[in-house]
Structure 1
Amino acid sequence: MSPREAIQMEPLQKLLLMSSYEALEMAGYGQHSPSTASQRVSTHIGQGRNDWRCVNKCQSIDIYYTPSSTRALYLGRINYHFKWERTSYNLNTACASSSTVISLACSALLARKRGTAVAGGRSISAAPHNIAGLSNGGLLSPTGKCKNFQDGADGYRRREGVGLVVLKHLVDAIAENDS
């Protein structure tokens, strides 16, 4: 990646690339294992808002602005980097994005539509006006804790980060002697 591209690249896009690599390494797969053959891997990422677009539009707009500000292209960057040929799914279902894409990846694996899936979610709050709006609307918990399905529920809290898992059909894992 060129320095010009790195400057305009959304931080979560960088984290997705690093987290994908780390998830594969932690799962014991190198780039050249049967499990990660280019025609077998798909990506499923749940991602909500795109705060970086708000931050970056105030900067000088360069040739790399669009790839860094369009969520659908984040997964293309991962597939391009790893030379994966399967589909990529970018989904936004608000708070359920990560669990939804993991469920979809599992369904695709069970239907034998792909061999391996990298699935998970990402979130970052880089634009302060969104958090201010949630706070002013009384949506954020003043105690800093979510109390789902409890009588004392008083709002929710936004979190930041990337979480990815590598999923594979059990038959394939056994055939390839996965640990």
Structure 2
Amino acid sequence: LDQAPTYFAVGTSRAVLSNRVSYFFNWHGASVTIDTACSSSLVAVHQAVRALRAGDSKMAVACGSNLILGPEMYIIESKLKMHSPDGLSRMWDADANGYARGDGVAAVVLKTLSQALRDGDRIEAVIRETGVNQDGATPGLTMPSASAQRALIHSVYKKAGLDPENPSHWPQYIEAHATS
């Protein structure tokens, strides 16, 4: 422990991850680390959109990362038969048989549309609505519920003023986490 880095105690804490980014960039305002497993980055986007709409921030950065730094989680998840035997994630597919793990880091900068237009920003996409749920009791703790997922999608469409049965209302892009 004599050779432990200065910031080891806070540098390895999940609670402080977002605060280190805020510290580095000298950002002020809410700085929150969200851990909801594979949906964490999408829940971060959901919370950022809520904060922007509430007027709590003019800009939000939602980040997500997954780094496989050791074999422990792979071994544990393999014992739980969570991984696809063929190494493929097949969301919403009748042949889905587990998920595939991978490393990844991503970040999105979010503003209200009016703020982005005022600032002359390049706009990549407009988020009309977001939604988050918990599937409740399913046959397995990590097993998704098709009915709960369907209800969430319909709820998000309704909040956005869209009809999920109308092809002209279908999104050009949808983002969801791997166990969907």
Task: Using structure 2 for the length normalisation, give the TM-score.
Answer: 0.62
Partner Cα separation in structure 2 for residue 157 and residue 147 of structure 1: 9
Give 2:41's aligned residue: 98
**What RMSD in Å do the two structures reach over aligned CA positions?**
1.9
| Cross-structure match for 1:109 | 52
* Residue equivalent to 2:94: 151
Match of 2:65 in 1: 122
Report SS of the residue matched to 2:84.
coil
1:136 aligns with 2:79: yes
After superposition, what is the alpha-carbon deviation per residue over 1:88-111, rounded to whole angstroms, capped at 9, x for unaligned? Answer: 111111221111110110111111
Give the 5 Å matches for 1:23-102.
60-102=3-45
User: C-alpha displacement at 1:60, in angstroms?
Assistant: 5.0
Deviations 1:92-141 (Å, cap 9, x if unpaired)? 11221111110110111111110000102111111212111211222111
What is the one-letter code of the residue matched to 2:110? L
Unaligned runs of 5+ in 2: 123-180
Equivalent position amino acid for 1:114 in 2: S
Counterpart AA for 1:122: S
* Paired letter, 1:127: G
Question: What letter matches 1:115 in structure 2?
Answer: K
Instruction: Provide the rounded CA distance (Å) in 2 between the counterparts of 1:95 and 1:175.
Output: 34
SS of residue in 1 equivalent to 2:87: coil
Partner of 2:174: none
Relative to its length, the structure with more strand (as a share) is: 1
SS at match of 1:105: helix
Q: Work out the CA distance in 1 between the residues paired with 2:68 and 2:3.
A: 21
Amino acid across the alignment from 1:103: H
Larger radius of gyration: 2
| Equivalent position of 2:105 in the other structure | 162
SS in 1 for 2:93: coil
Between Structure 1 and Structure 2, which shows a larger proportion of helix residues?
1
Secondary structure in 1 matching 2:83: coil
User: 2:60 is paired with a residue of what secondary structure?
Assistant: strand
**For 1:171, which of 109, 114, 118 is the aligned residue?**
114
Assess if the C-alpha contact under 8 Å between 2:90 and 2:97 holds in 1: yes
The answer to whether the 8 Å contact 2:19/2:32 transfers is no
Q: TM-score, normalised by structure 1?
A: 0.63
